[in-house]
A and B are shown apart, each in its own frame.
Chain A
């Protein structure tokens, strides 16, 4: 493992980072809080839901900044991905048709399920029964089909 350099000797982040630094810091704090919350009374499968959600939100934030608002430069975007501010694999899926709102990668991992199917949150609202309230086991998603 390479040595972690002190902040003063690190290469500075690309231009434009100062604009989004504050919001990223908010996400980082949220993530820390979520990680440090005790999960004693939480069902086991729900323990990581907040982590997934915050990771999703942060990735979405970076994705929108780069692809939709075109607010950040390519250098900064790549730097953010490299430094773990966003999930590159997840963003890669968002660029594909039908996966525009995908909640997490686990929910499309068909090999992990008994009948080689995706998660229930991938099912469009229209195909669910009336008033059926779903929340998926992996990340607590309530539905992320593109048609919703």
Chain B
């Protein structure tokens, strides 16, 4: 379905012409093409791919020529996407195709039979098999355009870049030579394999990091964002990557499988083999015509893909719906999963619900769909934000109040000089966050500035004795011989006497003072209890994650089984149709043939 830029090698079969175009020979011997409707003629072969055609065999009926070209087993992607090749559509009589086909090749025979049967059935039964897709045959299919999405430099192979497209395909690109290849050249293969391994490893690590609930917000969001599309695609890609290096240049399977427009899909019996590869090609197909096909649809489909396989046309006419989940997850787990999602995306619990929806960050996550309705989500969100705010409050109450004076004092020590008066100083640094902090008043700032400047003029000995006095005023529980110079108690840091001395002199002085102090008075530690709680929460979370994965796998399994069953049913139905047809066919001998056919069966059944 996806349009590919890959050009088949000349060895591959020549694609047939789009309808309306005919092939002719000029008196000079050149082949040219003519469109009777638009009255256009061109030397270039119409239909995206202009392959070099050195010698066209002379053909008696030029009109039939395009169709008569050897039927390609694997239709080149670009063409098949734009032009659904179908006998019923081209309007040529069936027999004109048949003789030219190389039916000895089983693949060709299968493909041909599939199309042949389909057209017959449609003619007689008003398009039974094609139900939802009837429209798609008569008009060109909508084609979503694949776009490059991200690129990675391939380490070790300098100018080469690995580019990922919107639909998860990838190609290598050399900006120096301005060349790009779908098929990865042999020399880049090891480097790309390394890259894939690294990425998978990183993904795994990112997931565990997210589960640990580490507090660094950026890392967590990145990990979460990374894991989101990855969860659905990871197994698929891992499967695919080892397979790639084995492709040699001639076997065009990799491209074709991905981009072929599966015309004979309904009738193809060996679906199981392709099931995995199809899921990608199927995503935009669930829509029936170009009229309904919009960007939003593609997005919806992609969102659906992240949770499960794309639905078959007959199954999901309306595409993917909310709550169309298959196996139910327990209510409690679903709620908890949704809360995990909110945690992972670092949603601000103070923000309104509308903001969450407007930003739309969370929509792509599989966990967003565990709850069936937006109302339910909102309920859970309310519960979550309430709890979260409470937790934040408690945490804030626990941790000591940060004195706003401390950063200001540090700033003064760094920037204040006797050369600047206060108004000058204020004007110079008015853009600083510190100077605009509402916790401190301007009056206080001015007072401290002046005091600090005045103290700078005092002799060193006075400053030292002042600092000593300050340190002595701090109780032993706050300042003892275990205290580090970098972690002094706030009452020291916020004092004007602390910043009067230069750090070069001050720090050794304080260190020496601390050395002389005694040990801290005895106190209990409540840290271990907290650790216990955190560990329990983490385990719980792990379990929920596993449950979600389990469920997704089960859903996928169910889907696949249903698909298989449907294929089987279809095949049987077809068989029956054919049988009925055979029975309906009354030859010259009339009923006699039917009776002779039926008689033995009847006698057999009568005997025992």
What residues make up the interface of A, taking CB atoms closer than 8 Å to B?
7-10, 12-13, 19-20, 22-23, 26, 57, 60-61, 64-65, 68-71
Question: Cβ of A57 and Cβ of B352 under 8 Å apart?
Answer: yes
Closest to B438 in A: A12
Whole-angstrom CA separation of A7 from B430 in the bound complex: 12
Question: Cβ of A12 and Cβ of B439 under 8 Å apart?
Answer: yes
Q: A23-B352, A61-B352 are in contact. Are A8 and B442 (CB under 8 A)?
A: yes
CB distance from B381 to the nearest CB of A (A): 11
Q: B354 contacts the other chain (Cβ, under 8 Å)?
A: yes
Closest to A71 in B: B389
Q: Which residues of chain B are within 8 angstroms of A8 by Cβ–Cβ distance?
A: 436, 442
Question: Cβ of B350 and Cβ of A26 under 8 Å apart?
Answer: no
Q: A23-B350, A23-B355, A61-B352 are in contact. Are A7 and B386 (CB under 8 A)?
A: no
Other A-B contacts than A7-B436, A70-B389, 15 sampled, CB-CB below 8 A, are A7-B438, A8-B436, A9-B441, A23-B350, A23-B352, A57-B352, A57-B354, A60-B352, A68-B382, A68-B386, A69-B386, A69-B389, A70-B386, A71-B350, A71-B386
Question: Cβ of A19 and Cβ of B354 under 8 Å apart?
Answer: no
Interface hits, B386-443 → A, CB 8 Å = 386, 389-390, 436, 438-439, 441-442
Whole-angstrom CA separation of A85 from B533 in the bound complex: 39
Q: Which residues of chain B are within 8 angstroms of A61 by Cβ–Cβ distance?
A: 352
CB distance from A1 to the nearest CB of B (A): 23
Interface size on B, residues (CB 8 A): 17
Closest to B430 in A: A8
Q: Which residues of chain B are within 8 angstroms of A70 by Cβ–Cβ distance?
A: 386, 389-390
Interface hits, B326-360 → A, CB 8 Å = 348-352, 354-355
Q: Which residues of chain A are within 8 angstroms of B567 by Cβ–Cβ distance?
A: none
CB distance from B30 to the nearest CB of A (A): 60
Interface centre among B349, B354, B389 (most CB of A within 10 A): B389
Question: Cβ of A65 and Cβ of B355 under 8 Å apart?
Answer: no
Chain B 294-331 interface 0/1 with A at a Cβ cutoff of 8 Å (1 = within): 00000000000000000000000000000000000000
Q: Which residues of chain B are within 8 angstroms of A64 by Cβ–Cβ distance?
A: 352
Q: B385 contacts the other chain (Cβ, under 8 Å)?
A: yes
Q: When the two chains form the complex, which single residue of B350, B385, B438, B442 contacts A20, counting CB atoms closer than 8 Å? A: B350
Question: Cβ of B442 and Cβ of A26 under 8 Å apart?
Answer: no
Q: Which residues of chain A are within 8 angstroms of B389 by Cβ–Cβ distance?
A: 69-71
Whole-angstrom CA separation of A69 from B354 in the bound complex: 16
Q: Which residues of chain B are within 8 angstroms of A60 by Cβ–Cβ distance?
A: 352
Q: Which residues of chain A are within 8 angstroms of B390 by Cβ–Cβ distance?
A: 70
Q: Which residues of chain B are within 8 angstroms of A71 by Cβ–Cβ distance?
A: 349-350, 385-386, 389
CB distance from B357 to the nearest CB of A (A): 13
Q: Which residues of chain B are within 8 angstroms of A12 by Cβ–Cβ distance?
A: 438-439
Closest to B445 in A: A8
Closest to A26 in B: B355
Q: When the two chains form the complex, which single residue of A9, A13, A57, A68 contacts B442, counting CB atoms closer than 8 Å? A: A9
CB distance from A63 to the nearest CB of B (A): 11
Closest to A11 in B: B438
Interface pairs (7), CB distance under 8 Å: A22-B348, A23-B351, A23-B352, A61-B352, A68-B386, A69-B389, A71-B386
CB distance from B378 to the nearest CB of A (A): 12
Whole-angstrom CA separation of A45 from B439 in the bound complex: 45
Q: A19-B350, A20-B350, A57-B352 are in contact. Are A69 and B385 (CB under 8 A)?
A: yes
Q: Which residues of chain A are within 8 angstroms of B442 by Cβ–Cβ distance?
A: 8-9
Q: Which residues of chain B are within 8 angstroms of A26 by Cβ–Cβ distance?
A: 355
